Structure 1
Amino acid sequence: MSAIPSSTPGTPWAPQPAAVQLVRSQVPHGIRTLTVREDLVGWVLRGRKRLVSPGGGMAFERGRVFCIPRATQWDVLNDPPPGGHYEARVMAFAPQTIERFHARFGQYAGVPAVQGGAGTDADPAFAATFDHACAALSDPEASEAMREHRALEVLLLLAERGLVFAPVQSLGWADRVHRLVGQRTHVDWTVDTLAQAFHLSASSLQRRLAEESTTASRCVREARLLTAMALLQGSELQVSEIAVRCGYQSHSRFSAAFRQRFGYAPTHLRP
């Protein structure tokens, strides 16, 4: 999920309080080795979601809510019901929102933070709160204060059920690059243009990414392909248009990169 671009120099990755995505698919599909970079709350409306890690796995059926903390890694499998399609609504919380939650609701500081993942039921109370938040976050006319208020309501409801995301530490450089590229995936990002956006030299950015065992090109590729996956799941755009939006002028190169990353062609999600 991509962040909203910021107009503040030096903070190009600053997002809105939370971002919402509708995920739909008529075919079973998986995402291998997905690193979760923001705290996520999702509601399975149809079908079944499975999350698998070396430490085990979890399954969420229709009507279940999943809470996945940032900085975790999973193999994700989305299974439609027989004759139907998989559908889920996902809300990704900006780090600033998590920090504001802890600042305002310190009484939940003693609640153990969600570690590998957790779930709860999408009962009427959750459905109403989640729906109100999704409506505000998707409304371009809603004020920033209202968007934040609705996002915090979701976090507060979950906290009352014992589900709290941990306070946020400083963003790593790989996360910063992912956020920046995710805002404008069509841009021809290079080490020089990335470094300029962060007011660094190219060598300094490369060194900081190397300390996190990654590179600028790897971060750019991952951000583009994950954005492509989100567009394939949540929009009716043609595959060729998604390729261009994600920085690939060649449809064949996009398909090859997508297949290498996910194990199937992008057309697999468009039967």
Structure 2
Amino acid sequence: MNGTVTLTIRQFRRATFKAVNSSQPALIRVLAGAKRVRSILGAMDVVAGGVAVLAPRLDMTIENCPAPDGPYQAQLMVIPEELVGCTDHADADKCNPMRATTRERVVAAFDRSAVYARDPAVPERIRLNAVREVLLWLAEEGIGFGRLRQPLLADRLRAILSADPGREWRSAEAAEMLAVSEPTLRRQLAQNGASFGVLLADVRMSVALGMLQSSDLPVNRVALDVGYACPSRFAVRFRKRFGLAPSSIRMAATQGDDRASLDAAPAFDRIGTKNDRSGTIPVVSEA
């Protein structure tokens, strides 16, 4: 069982990211600003101080809204999927992944778990038990991952590519790692309206988004780390995927409405989003 990964996310401009799809389950605590999420399962608002789950293998539209006086900030905790089914809560399968809570006991458990995750002196079993405590408190509030969809071949491929986005990937190599033939890989991707090249490009963009949100690395370094030697080509691809320049993630908006609060934003309708076969939250990003 892999350990947890905890990151602080910062975003200075209000932005909406469509067709986001994570390969791993995650917990999110909004520190400043607000987060809005919608999926085929419904919609939720996560205000400052709120805690929620981000289910894996679920297409989501995510909007991050900066606070009036500063950036959107959140703590993201990516957790091992094995923990999701180990809460021993009677109603765990019925819990709703599209709800959030500001209940003090849940927030305290999340903060404690985040501290343990960052402390190398804390034994791994203690860290994992701290995550289980968060999941149990969330379940008491009727919040959880519910019954997870089993990973398809495309999901498994996404996870492999996300682990090393800067690699010079070839479909034959990836197929071998997945223990399938290259024709089988291409055929199954095509059945879902995808292709190896399109999926690889999207994974790289999503990993880049996470790096821009959670680090101070220069944009050209981020581009290089996800497989783009040419920063301008990377910027074009990033804007096409997310609708804004890479540098905009870290730049304060010049217009007031870009930093509007969640209350000023138009409400989402509670319907599912059409799957455009793009988007993934990397293992270390919450979009």
Q: Which of 102, 105, 120 is the equivalent residue of 2:101?
A: 120
Distance of 2:42 and 2:150 partners within structure 1: 28
Q: CA RMSD in A?
A: 2.2
Distance of 2:232 and 2:185 partners within structure 1: 31
* TM-score under structure 1 length normalisation: 0.83
User: Cα deviation per residue 1:19-64 (whole Å; 9 max; x = unaligned)?
Assistant: 3222112222221221244333211110111224578643222112
Does residue 162 of the first structure (1) align with residue 129 of the second (2)? no
- Residue number in structure 2 paired with 1:137: 117
Distance of 2:42 and 2:184 partners within structure 1: 38
Q: Decide which structure has greater strand share.
A: 1
Distance of 1:186 and 1:245 partners within structure 2: 5
- Residue number in structure 1 paired with 2:35: 49
**SS of structure 1 residue aligned to 2:144:** coil
User: Cα deviation per residue 1:173-221 (whole Å; 9 max; x = unaligned)?
Assistant: 1111111111111101110121122232211221232333322222211
Q: Which of 225, 246, 249 is the equivalent residue of 1:245?
A: 225
Q: Which of 9, 28, 48 is the equivalent residue of 1:62?
A: 48
Q: Which of 68, 72, 81 is the equivalent residue of 1:95?
A: 81
For structure 1, which segment, 74-83 or 251-260, has the greater mean C-alpha deviation from structure 2 after superposition? 74-83
Q: CA deviation at 1:162?
A: 1.7
Q: Which of 182, 196, 208 is the equivalent residue of 2:188?
A: 208
**SS of structure 2 residue aligned to 1:163:** coil
For structure 1, which segment, 150-159 or 33-42, has the greater mean C-alpha deviation from structure 2 after superposition? 33-42
**SS of structure 2 residue aligned to 1:50:** strand
- Residue number in structure 2 paired with 1:150: 130
Contact 1:228-1:242 at 8 Å conserved across structures: yes
- Residue number in structure 1 paired with 2:270: none
Q: Which of 56, 60, 65 is the equivalent residue of 1:79?
A: 65
Q: Which of 163, 174, 185 is the equivalent residue of 2:165?
A: 185
Distance of 1:270 and 1:164 partners within structure 2: 31
Count of paired positions? 251
Distance of 2:9 and 2:174 partners within structure 1: 30
Q: Percent identity?
A: 27
Contact 2:57-2:151 at 8 Å conserved across structures: no
* TM-score under structure 2 length normalisation: 0.79
Distance of 1:87 and 1:132 partners within structure 2: 18
